[in-house]
Chains A and B, each alone.
Chain A
Amino acid sequence: MIALVIVSTFVVLVLGILVAGLLRSHADILRALHELGAGVGDPAARPAAPAPVTLTAPASSPALGDAPAVAGITPTGDARAIAVDNSDDFTLLGFLSSGCTGCAAFWDALQEPGRLELPDRTRVVIVTKGPDREVPSEVQARTTGRVPVVMSTDAWVDYQVPGSPFFVLVDGATGQKVGQGVARQVGQLAELVRRAEHDRGHAGGTRERGEGSAGGPAREAAADEVLAAAGILPGDPSLYPRTLDDVFPHGRAVPAE
């Protein structure tokens, strides 16, 4: 009898240890899935801990290659092409899907630039796969019209997007990709752009685009140069008009409508 009790106790202990091990293994799996964005609920809404940055930062990878234009259709059937190399601005391309659980927070945040707190002169473009892989009405249901949404499977191929959500930051001054990867939290995107902006500031890599985009001293100097070439020097009376006749000495021109 005593032997039976001892054996039963031993079996119970072994089974208890086995169950505890299984529960721990199950918890590890759930935690890993949660960090990958495949857990139950919205992973971005309540991050368990500061997730590691998986975006490739500009300084760590200076040559990610050229960034091609993104061309496709909009969810409403219009056509749209975004050139990412035609300004000094940064363009943040967010490759999202309509049905991806981990994308939900980014759909909302990317369409509210104020909430995202991106640096000024950062253009946000959302890119989904084309109508061959996405249902336009489902994409349309997620759009607010505040940022361009382009449906293009070709863009996913061009940018070698492994899955969604995926982000690429392009420096418009050079037309080069300066950062890319998977972000797990919205805040990582602003940090990526800020770091790229900081790096570019040190490199001085902005493109010459003329007075239209120049600001401050550069614009003032350009204006002074044009005025001087026209014989208008500092102190010229024409710089200090008092009446409309001073501004339009030959009569007012009426632009064609």
Chain B
Amino acid sequence: MATIGAHGITARLPAGFEGRIFVRPASVGVTYPVGQFATFPIPDDIGDFGSGAVSVMGPSDVFATLFEYGPESVGTALFAQQGRPAALAESDFSPMTLRRGIPGQSGTQWFFTESGRPFSFYAVLGSHSLRSALVPHVNTLLSSLTLSPAVVNLPAARPLWN
């Protein structure tokens, strides 16, 4: 069981999972941390929400993204839920909740605020018909995440004599 952590997100990955936590270089504006986790090898050049990955996953695979939004989202209605969902039910997954509709797959997406940070958790099942076996994996992953308060980059101390 591997543990990874960066940018205030720590994941104690369940067996079979791999993952990465990163911040994309910003060409314009500001970017925020993204966590991607999967039970299959994650290609390097995929989209934040798994485009390029969900198309290669098998029926028994799971893919999940934890996406942080900017601090301006805190307090908005979309992120009103405090804390991640405790556990997801099979009924939370729907073939219609996919950013890219792939036959057989299903997904779920949740918006919440935790440790003062606005997040979206998006998970995809490789096969909706296998959801009874796959949803527990998603829940194990979800419970393995530790989200810390955002690190504030304070400006460097100025010399006291000036």
Interface residues, chain A, with chain B CB atoms under 8 Å away: 68-74, 76-83, 85-87, 89, 123, 145-148, 209-213, 253, 255-257
Contact = CB atoms under 8 A, between A and B. Distances in A.
A69 B41 CA distance: 12
A86 B16 contact: yes
**Interface pairs A-B: 8 shortest CB-CB:** A212-B58, A255-B101, A71-B2, A79-B6, A78-B22, A79-B4, A83-B18, A79-B21
Given A79-B11, A79-B20, 7 more contacts: A76-B22, A78-B23, A81-B17, A81-B19, A210-B58, A212-B126, A256-B97
Interface residues of B, number: 37
Contact of A81 (B2, B99, B127): B2
A119 to B, nearest CB: 16
Interface string B8-20: 0101010011111
Contacts, number: 99
Given A69-B2, A123-B41, A255-B100, A82 B18 contact: yes
A256 B98 contact: yes
A257 B18 contact: no
B61 interface: yes
A83 B23 contact: no
A144 to B, nearest CB: 11
A68 B20 CA distance: 17
24 contacts: A68-B2, A69-B2, A71-B2, A73-B6, A78-B21, A78-B23, A79-B4, A79-B11, A79-B19, A80-B4, A80-B21, A81-B18, A81-B20, A82-B41, A83-B17, A86-B16, A86-B17, A86-B18, A147-B44, A212-B59, A212-B61, A255-B96, A255-B101, A256-B96
A69 B1 CA distance: 7
A80 B13 contact: no
A85 B16 contact: yes
Contacts of A68: 2
A76 B11 CA distance: 18
B60 interface: yes
A148 B44 contact: yes
Contact of A69 (B18, B22, B57, B99): B18
Nearest to A254: B101
Contacts of B38: 86
B39 interface: yes
Interface string B32-72: 00000011110010000000000011111100000000000
A69 to B, nearest CB: 4
Contacts of A69: 1-2, 13, 18
B137 to A, nearest CB: 12
Interface in B52-106: 56-61, 96-101
A66 to B, nearest CB: 12
